[in-house]
Amino acid sequence: MSDLIRPNRRALLAFGLVLPAAACARLLPGGGPPPQLFTLTPKSTFDANLPVVDWQLVVEEPEAAGGLQVQSIALRTNALELQYFANARWTDRAPRMVQTLLVESFENSRRIIAVGRQAIGLRSDFNLRTELREFQAEYENPDKPPMVRIRLNAKIVKQPRREIIASDNFEATTRAAGTGIVDVVQAFDDALGKVTRRLVEWTILSANQARPAVPRAQQPS
C-alpha cells in the first residue's frame, strides 16, 4: 500500500489518506474512526421564464461505471487511475444521490405537475435517463486545490412509445477553494448545481416542445 501512495505523500497531509479504487474492498470495519459523511444540495433557482407544464416526469437512477457506483468520493491524479478519499463518503451511492437531487430540483422549480423516481410507480409522460460519466476531483498538482468535474449525458424518452426526443451532454467544473475535504465537497456542490440547473431547464423546455398541444374545448354558440 505504501508504494501506491508514496507519490502523493505531501498531499496526504493536506486532505487525508487517498486509496486506489481496488484498495477499497480491503478496508475492514472497526479499523479506525468512522468516515465523514457528506451530501450535496438540490438546485432551487431557475430561469423566471421557464414555462409551467402539465405533464409527468420519471427521473431514472443515472447509469455509471463501476468506479462511481459507490459512496466513496472519487478523485484522479492521472487519466488512468481512479482513487478515493479514505476518510470521507457520500451519504448514498453517487448515482442514487444525484437522482434524489434531480427529483428535488425539479420539484423546487415549481414548473412541473408531478415528478418522481421510477420506484414510486408514477405513470409518466416522459422519462429522464442519464449517465454519470464524470464525478470526481482532479489533482494536477498534489499541493494545490483540485478541480471538480461533473459530466452527465441525458436523454428524454417520450412514453409510451419509448421514443428518444432529445439528447445532450452537461458538464461543469469548479476549482476547490482549498485542499481540505470540506472545500472539495463545496466544489462538488457548486459544479453539480450548474449541471442540475441546465439539465432541469433543458428537460422542461425540450419535453414541452414534444408534448402535443391539447385542443381547447369548443365554446358554446
Q: Provide the CATH number for the domain around residue 109.
A: 3.40.50.10610
User: Does residue 141 form part of some domain?
Assistant: yes
Neighbours of 220 (CB within 10 A): 4
> Helices (H) and strands (E) in the chain — how many of each?
4, 10
Neighbours of 141 (CB within 10 A): 10
Main-chain dihedrals φ then ψ at residue 151, nearest 5 degrees: -140, 130
| 207 and 156 Cβ atoms separated by less than 8 Å | yes
Query: Which three cell numbers mark 216?
Result: 381547447
- Give the number of domains in the chain: 1
Instruction: For residue 116, give its domain range.
Output: 15-23+33-210
User: Does residue 113 form part of some domain?
Assistant: yes
| 20 and 83 Cβ atoms separated by less than 8 Å | yes
Say what the pTM is. 0.83
What is the block-wise mean pLDDT of the chain (221 residues), using blocks of 10 residues? 34 45 43 87 96 96 97 96 95 98 97 87 90 97 94 96 96 97 98 98 95 49 41
User: Does residue 205 form part of some domain?
Assistant: yes
User: Does residue 218 form part of some domain?
Assistant: no
